[in-house]
């Protein structure tokens, strides 16, 4: 039975990029598109290849593969139990990972992912890559229906760009919601148009607002990602003010904090190295973040769920994070005072208690 699993595989993005919350829930990853349809953000090094739409037929074939792997794993678990099944699956090829071909390695990863998905108390699905809403609504709806019919997930989430949300009609988004799409993860980065233009985001603050509002109106959960420090020292104040303004107009379910870290081989990194872009320090970022938080007048959650990029710590040994590392975060407005108190505490810590973003440049995320 175990050997029969070798014939099934499904495509996953080589980068394995997905939200931290999806990692926590052992989400099943299904690749709907390849790479990013924009791919011009000056700070980003995530997607290096050209954008491609995968066919509906290809994706449904992947869903079929997942289903077959799931059925075989479930049968194995029923016979020998979870722990023994995990051991048997790990011995599928009876060779070290260094000796496996790329296709064998991906097959093993696929099987482990489905096993973890089976063992989770949830059964969420995350659609890769950077913006699946560029797909025709009828095609994406067909894919969602097929996932629902065959895998019965607890939720289906995707990354999306604000301008793709703007381009979709409200009825299109509602039909996607009815077909099973639960949540959109959107890279807001900033609400300051000058910052958005400088980083070549390809989206205006107005489009951020329109897209976000449309998603919520369609019944989708919305997570917006904000990047402290992306305005540099020059536009730190404006970045905080305008980002708060945009968030107030959108009123997303979650605001996820992703402090800017320069990535090599990006245009913004080159600006930083040439002295054209000044990085803000951890304490300056806390100051910026406080300005943003106190200007919010919405019900949402502020989340610091990415431990490496949130380089604020309570101890010089960096064993304890300043903010709790959780996708549930801090509920606003109820926990605003608590959050500000934490930020004030962080600002009073000695300089050596923080990791500067420049020291994270070589860090893998």
User: What length does the chain have?
Assistant: 365
d(CA 306, CA 314): 16
Per-residue pLDDT, 229: 97
How does the average pLDDT of the chain come out, rounded? 93
339 and 327 housed in the same domain: yes
Q: What is the distance of C-alpha 305 from the center of its chain? A: 10
146 and 186 housed in the same domain: no
Asked, for residue 175, whether it belongs to a domain, the answer is no
Least confident of 208-217, 328-337, 344-353: 344-353
Residues 6+ apart with CB under 8 A from 53: 33, 34, 134, 135
Per-residue pLDDT, 258: 94
Phi then psi for residue 363, to 5 deg, are: -75, 140
Of the candidates 92, 147, 96, which has an alpha carbon nearest to the alpha carbon of residue 125?
A: 147
CATH number at residue 240: 3.30.750.200
- Residue of 100 and 249 predicted with greater confidence: 249
- Residue of 122 and 207 predicted with greater confidence: 207
Per-residue pLDDT, 107: 92
| Tokens coding 279 | 């990085």
Pairing status of strand 52-53 against strand 33-34: antiparallel
At residue 7, the 3 state secondary structure works out as helix
- Residue of 356 and 219 predicted with greater confidence: 219
Asked, for residue 40, whether it belongs to a domain, the answer is yes
Per-residue pLDDT, 312: 75
72 and 86 housed in the same domain: yes
Least confident of 102-111, 270-279, 312-321: 312-321
- Contact between residue 252 and residue 299 where contact means Cβ atoms under 8 Å apart: no
Asked, for residue 288, whether it belongs to a domain, the answer is yes
pLDDT(309) > 70? no
Domain that holds residue 96: 1-158
Sign of CA dihedral 335, 340, 341, 347: positive
Asked, for residue 211, whether it belongs to a domain, the answer is yes
pLDDT(274) > 90? yes
d(CA 201, CA 192): 11
Question: Which of 128, 158, 188 is the last residue before a domain boundary?
Answer: 158
Span 278-302, average pLDDT: 97
Sign of CA dihedral 192, 272, 279, 18: positive
Per-residue pLDDT, 1: 61
d(CA 233, CA 281): 9
| Tokens coding 88 | 């048997």
H or E element at residue 174: helix 170-179
Question: Which of 105, 123, 158 is the last residue before a domain boundary?
Answer: 158
pLDDT(222) > 80? yes
Of the candidates 11, 214, 185, which has an alpha carbon nearest to the alpha carbon of residue 102?
A: 11
| Tokens coding 176 | 């996607």
Number of structural domains (the chain) is 2
Per-residue pLDDT, 132: 98
Question: Which of 98, 123, 158 is the last residue before a domain boundary?
Answer: 158
Asked, for residue 174, whether it belongs to a domain, the answer is no
For residue 134, the 8-state DSSP code is G
| Tokens coding 31 | 């690749």
Span 317-342, average pLDDT: 90
pLDDT(134) > 90? yes
d(CA 66, CA 173): 26
197 and 306 housed in the same domain: yes
DSSP for 70-130?
HHHHHHHHHHH-HHHHHHHHHTSS-S-GGGS-HHHHHHHHHHHHHHHHHHSSS--EEEESS
- Residue of 276 and 98 predicted with greater confidence: 276
22 and 154 housed in the same domain: yes
Pairing status of strand 300-303 against strand 330-332: antiparallel
pLDDT(223) > 70? yes
Describe the crossing of helices 56-80 and 82-90 by its angle, rounded to 10 degrees.
120
pTM for this predicted structure: 0.94
pLDDT above 70 covers what percent of the chain? 97
Per-residue pLDDT, 50: 93
For residue 313, the 8-state DSSP code is B
pLDDT(365) > 70? no
345 and 197 housed in the same domain: yes
d(CA 80, CA 258): 43
Q: What is the pLDDT of residues 148-160, one digit of tens each?
A: 999 999 999 999 9
273 and 152 housed in the same domain: no
144 and 191 housed in the same domain: no
H or E element at residue 139: helix 137-151
Least confident of 61-70, 269-278, 319-328: 319-328
| Tokens coding 300 | 């949402």
128 and 233 housed in the same domain: no
Asked, for residue 145, whether it belongs to a domain, the answer is yes
141 and 227 housed in the same domain: no
Asked, for residue 15, whether it belongs to a domain, the answer is yes
Pairing status of strand 33-34 against strand 330-332: unpaired
Q: What is the pLDDT of residues 249-263, one digit of tens each?
A: 999 999 999 999 999
Asked, for residue 5, whether it belongs to a domain, the answer is yes
d(CA 192, CA 240): 8
Least confident of 99-113, 169-183, 209-223, 298-312: 298-312
141 and 10 housed in the same domain: yes
249 and 121 housed in the same domain: no
């Amino acid at each position: 039975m175990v050997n029969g699993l070798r014939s099934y595989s499904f495509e996953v993005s080589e980068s394995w990029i997905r939200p931290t919350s999806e990692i926590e829930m052992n989400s099943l990853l299904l690749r709907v598109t390849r790479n990013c349809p924009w791919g011009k953000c000056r700070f980003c090094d995530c997607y290096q290849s050209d954008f491609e739409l995968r066919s509906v037929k290809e994706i449904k074939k992947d869903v079929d593969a997942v289903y077959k792997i799931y059925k075989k794993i479930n049968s194995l678990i029923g016979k020998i139990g979870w722990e023994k099944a995990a051991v048997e699956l790990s011995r599928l090829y009876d060779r070290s990972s260094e000796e496996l071909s790329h296709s064998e390695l991906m097959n093993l990863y696929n099987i482990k992912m489905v096993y973890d998905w089976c063992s989770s108390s949830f059964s969420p699905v995350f659609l890769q890559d950077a913006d699946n809403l560029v797909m025709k609504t009828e095609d994406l709806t067909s894919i969602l229906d097929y996932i629902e019919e065959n895998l019965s997930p607890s939720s289906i989430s995707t990354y999306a760009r604000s301008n793709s949300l703007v381009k979709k009609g409200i009825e299109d988004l509602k039909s996607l919601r009815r077909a099973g799409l639960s949540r959109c993860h959107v890279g807001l980065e900033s609400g300051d148009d000058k910052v958005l233009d400088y980083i070549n985001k390809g989206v205006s603050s107005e489009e951020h607002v329109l897209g976000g509002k449309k998603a919520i109106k369609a019944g989708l959960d919305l997570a917006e990602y904000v990047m402290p420090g992306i305005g540099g020292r020059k536009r730190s104040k404006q970045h905080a003010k305008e980002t708060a303004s945009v968030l107030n107009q959108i009123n997303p379910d979650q605001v996820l904090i992703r402090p800017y870290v320069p990535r090599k081989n990006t245009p913004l990194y080159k600006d930083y190295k040439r002295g054209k872009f000044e990085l803000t320090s951890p304490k300056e970022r806390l100051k910026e973040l406080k300005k943003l938080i106190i200007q919010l007048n919405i019900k949402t959650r502020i989340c610091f769920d990415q431990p490496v990029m949130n380089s604020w710590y309570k101890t010089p040994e960096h064993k304890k994070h300043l903010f709790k590392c959780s996708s549930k975060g801090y509920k606003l407005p109820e926990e605003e005072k608590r959050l500000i108190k934490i930020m004030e505490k962080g600002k009073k810590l000695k300089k050596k208690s923080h990791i500067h973003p420049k020291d994270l440049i070589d860090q893998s995320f």
